[in-house]
Amino acid sequence: MLMMDKSIHNAFKICSFNSKGHRIDKIDYMKHLLTQCDVLLLQEHWYLERDIQLLEGLLGNVQVYGVSGMDDNELLSGRPYGGCAIVLSNNLKCNFLPIHISNRCCGGVLKLDHISILLFNIYMPCDTLYDYSNLDIFQNILNDISYTCSEHEDIDYVIIGGDFNTDLSRMNSLHTQALNNFVQNEELVFCDMSDTADILFTYENVSSSTESIIDHFIVSENMYRNLLDYRSIHDGNNLSDHAPILLSLNLVTSREHKCDVREYTKRPQWDKTTDSNIADYKHALSELFSHIKLPLNALYCQDTTC
């Protein structure tokens, strides 16, 4: 029987898993993964924004923050799709401040005792050799992460996990080139590069009998030095076509306390606004101002102390 090192057993563990839905068998497997990790990053949960919190009741003893890949106000055509969520075990003593980024990326500042981690969970568009519109979406997500990191210079570590839909061995891929440039520019490291990495594959296409590694963890250089173990998990009761990946880190943390998740406030992303967006914003402001009733005495008063 293989014995696991004691330091790995007591490590801080974070798992990433593309569940491809939320049927009861998928929920049961998520529960199984939560027995092995402190934080679970989910992709493709297929929930609408208003329904994501259902995961807290279904999984039990967790706090959940996530985003939907679908618009709650639009009529859904076909099966549900997309979305990502961060699931925090209540056994972990922590504080989590969510950061709204996009419908393909959720994140937040995770505070564990005396350390703070900027955590991102992403679900990227499909890899491509020629589709530049897909590349634009991919690059925009990386830009959002870079911008968020620049706004949080006081944090200790950065962890980015999820379904990148990018196999690093595909050197001709537009996404691989963009991802490598991002990692180099932001001074990050692929966990796949670690000597401890044991990743057989993370995605299996049954129809074509092909396997690839498209799910990854990327961490800041100082966090990379804390890496104890990095592996893919291959269980018979996993009915997704993605295999979970488990990252174990040498971080001393407290357990048996409920994680405190604070509310986030959405902020306008002015750098992404178009002329049409600004015109709509001005119109909405004018409409709101028109409903404000000012007393005439206040308008004509000459006494500055009135």
Read off the pLDDT of residues 182-226 as tens digits, 9 standing for 90 and up. Answer: 999 999 999 999 999 999 999 999 888 899 999 999 999 999 999
What confidence category does residue 286 fall into, taking pLDDT thresholds of 50, 70 and 90? confident
Write the CA distances from 189 to 29, 160, 179, 194, 290, integer angstroms: 29, 10, 11, 9, 53
83, 68 Cβ separation under 8 angstroms: yes
Q: What is the mean pLDDT of residues 232-239?
A: 96
10 — pLDDT class (breaks 50, 70, 90): confident
**Quick one: 189 and 217 in the same domain?**
yes
DSSP, residue by residue, 7-31: HHHTSEEEEEEE-SS--HHHHHHHH
Q: Kindly report the backbone phi and psi dihedral angles of residue 217, in degrees, each rounded to the nearest multiple of 5, phi listed first.
A: -120, 135
Q: Is 178 within a domain? A: yes
Q: Are residues 115 and 43 in the same domain?
A: yes
Confidence tier at 285 by pLDDT (50, 70, 90): confident
- Per-residue model confidence (pLDDT) at position 29: 98
Buried b (16+ CB within 10 A) or exposed e, 53-64: eebeebbeebbb
Which domain, by its residues, includes 296?
271-300
Q: Provide the percentage of residues in the chain whose pLDDT is more than 70.
A: 84
pLDDT score of 170 more than 50: yes
Over residues 155-173, the mean pLDDT reads 95
Taking the model in full, what pTM does it have? 0.82
Regarding whether 31 and 57 lie in a shared domain, the answer is yes
Contact 63, 277 (CB under 8 A): no
**β-bridge partners, 247:** 14, 230
Nearest-angstrom CA–CA distance, 45 and 217: 19
Rounded CA separation 52/68 (Å): 8
Q: What is the dihedral of CA 10, 14, 20, 23, to 10 degrees?
A: 50
Q: Is 263 helix (H, G, I), strand (E, B) or coil?
A: coil
CATH code assigned at 68: 3.60.10.10
Q: What is the pLDDT of residue 38?
A: 97
- Within this chain, do residues 158 and 123 fall inside the same structural domain, yes or no? yes
pLDDT exceeds 70 at position 260: no
CB 176 within 8 A of CB 168: yes
Q: Phi/psi of residue 109, each to 5°? A: -95, 115
Same domain, 257 and 275: no
Report pLDDT for 21. 95
> Tell me: the pLDDT tens digits for 23-54?
999 999 999 999 999 999 999 999 999 999 99
User: What average pLDDT score do residues 238-247 get?
Assistant: 97
Is residue 282 over pLDDT 90? no
Residue range 54-68: mean pLDDT, rounded: 96
The domain total for the chain is 2
How many whole angstroms separate alpha carbon 216 and alpha carbon 160?
8
My answer on whether 256 and 278 are in the same domain is: no
Radius of gyration, CA atoms only, the chain: 22
Reference 145, options 133, 160, 164; nearest CA is 160
Q: How many CB atoms lie within 10 A of CB 52?
A: 21
pLDDT higher than threshold 90 for residue 155: yes
Tell me: do 215 and 284 sit in the same domain. Answer: no
Among the listed ranges 75-79, 88-92, 283-287, which one has the minimum average pLDDT value? 283-287
| Residue 52: predicted pLDDT | 96
Torsion of CA 242, 96, 23, 82, to 10 degrees: -60
Quick one: 187 and 282 in the same domain? no
Judge if 194 and 280 occupy the same domain.
Answer: no
